[in-house]
Amino acid sequence: MPRSLTALVRVHLTGLRLLLVFTVVCGLAYPLLITGFSQVALSRQANGSQLRQNGQVVGSSLLGQTFNLPNQAGPDPKWFQPRPSAAGTNGYDPTASGASNLGPNDTGLTGTIRNRRAAIAAFDGVPGSQVPPDAVTASGSGLDPQISPAYAYEQVNRVARVRRLDPNTVRQLVRDHVQGRILGFLGEPRVNVVTLNLALARLG
């Protein structure tokens, strides 16, 4: 065999061996190691931060969801309601994450916000001036599960009335679910409406 051909074969065999080694290390060993570590040390996060009720998965603490009457017949007054969502036809569709891309000068957006404010004020039995901004505007992803403490507290009386609970008990439940700023200075205080409603279901 000519020397040049021998060298070429040797180079290709070396490349093939490297390919096999890196395939095993990077494609099999490393993913299995990380998967195993995450399942042992960070099982809840690795499995999507699932929320369970009576042994059944009912949602994720990372994803918002609607709390509507059957057949999407409107918001269910028994539950704390999330902020609006532009993700999908009915909102909170994880396969259609996104915002409306409408700006503050868009007449369609301002009209929608005005209508939302009037509807929420009537639904919760409060003045329109008491409806906070996040109650009428969608998040950038359309999937955020958090609402502001102001919006959560604004819904307390309606939830307590429909469920025939003491408003102070429901208000304390909200207070227990207020999350502070990350590291004490990043972001704003917030309430995860999914975990709040799960606690509300356990309350009765």
For the stretch 105-120, what's the b/e string if a residue is b when 16 or more beta carbons lie within 10 angstroms of its beta carbon? eeeeeeebbeebbebb
Please determine, for residue 199, whether its predicted confidence score (pLDDT) is greater than 90: yes
Q: What DSSP string runs through 30-70? A: HHHHHHHHHHHHSHHHHTT-EEEETTEEEEETTS----B-G
45 — pLDDT class (breaks 50, 70, 90): confident
Residues with Cβ < 8 Å from 86, sequence gap 6 or more? 98, 99, 100, 138, 142
What mean pLDDT comes out for the span 81-90?
92
Structure tokens at 116: 């939302």
Q: Are 135 and 119 in contact (CB under 8 A)?
A: no
What mean pLDDT comes out for the span 124-149?
94
Cα 29 from Cα 160, distance rounded (Å): 53
What mean pLDDT comes out for the span 66-72?
89
pTM of the model: 0.80
pLDDT digits over 19-32, tens only? 999 999 999 999 99
More confident residue, 189 or 46: 189
* pLDDT at site 109: 87
143 — pLDDT class (breaks 50, 70, 90): very high
* pLDDT at site 5: 64
Number of H helices, E strands in the chain: 8, 5
Beta bridge partners of 56: 53
What mean pLDDT comes out for the span 69-78?
90
* pLDDT at site 51: 83
* pLDDT at site 3: 64
Cα 79 from Cα 52, distance rounded (Å): 17
Q: CA Rg, the chain, in Å? A: 25
47 — pLDDT class (breaks 50, 70, 90): confident
Please determine, for residue 180, whether its predicted confidence score (pLDDT) is greater than 80: yes
